[in-house]
Amino acid sequence: GAVRGAVRTLCLAALLGALGAGGTELTLELPDSAQRCFHQELESGVKFTLDFQVISGGHYDVDCYVEDPNGKTIYQETKKQYDSFSHHTELKGVYTFCFGNEFSTFSHKIVYFDFQVGDEPPILPSMNKRVTALTQMESACVTIHEMLNTVIDSQTHYRLREAQDRSRAEELNGRVSYWSVGETLILFVVSIGQVMLLKSFFTEKRPSSGGA
């Protein structure tokens, strides 16, 4: 009972650590010919990671760039469907990252991004100060914690793929529906035209009566 309770407590700590990692996840709508920027104040010597993916819209591409507090561009890509960028800050201040859809004149985009700051804290408070090997329970909880992180990353990846595939399927379904309606209207017009043409061939023309 006591051992099971300790294992449950450690595993719960691992679960909370996996779910409570620092960062921001957002899904935003990017209109055509528009740009959206975000700002984050960071200390020097801090690692941050930016992951993004276009879920729907146009050719599923977007521009992205990151600037440091001095306005220097430290990352820039154009017409990317997805990408990941990591950087260790050298300056303290406000960092800016922007998503641009300025090259598109009619396609709205849906963009998902994940902005993580700093390294993940240890799941056990005393892990960094330990000089002895981890116990079997602690090692098991570390393994569970790593597996949970892998599961969360996989779930996010498959959720984005499912949203992207659903968007493509809905777009394809709309095109097929419009094409089917267009074909139906064309067939209807052609059928009426053929009926009218054949009817004109077999219509008797009455001779006109002349006065004596």
Q: Would you say residue 61 lies in a domain?
A: yes
Question: Residue 48 has what pLDDT?
Answer: 92
Residues 6+ apart with CB under 8 A from 187: none
User: Is 204 inside any structural domain?
Assistant: no
Helix (H, G, I), strand (E, B) or coil at 108: coil
Q: 155 in a domain, yes or no?
A: yes
What's the mean pLDDT when you consider all of the chain? 79
pTM (global) more than 0.75: no
Residues 113 and 164 occupy one common structural domain: no
Per-residue model confidence as pLDDT tens digits over 22-75: 568 888 899 989 999 999 999 999 999 999 999 888 888 999 999 999 999 999
In degrees and rounded to multiples of 5, residue 168 shows phi and psi of -65, -40
The yes-or-no verdict on residue 128 having pLDDT over 90 is no
Residue 197 lies in a domain: no
What pLDDT, on the 0 to 100 scale, is given for residue 11?
A: 41
Res 150 pLDDT > 50: yes
Domain check: are 148 and 89 in the same one?
Answer: no
Domain that holds residue 158: 135-192
Does 108 share its domain with 42? Answer: yes
How many structural domains is the chain composed of? 2
Q: Do residues 113 and 54 both lie within one domain?
A: yes
Q: How far are the Cα atoms of 145, 148, 157, 194 from residue 51, in angstroms, in the given order?
A: 21, 19, 11, 59
State mean pLDDT over 73-88. Answer: 92
Are 33 and 98 contained in the same domain?
yes
**Claim to verify: residue 102 and residue 162 sit in the same structural domain:** no
In a domain, 127, yes or no: no
CATH number of the domain residue 87 falls in: 2.60.120.380
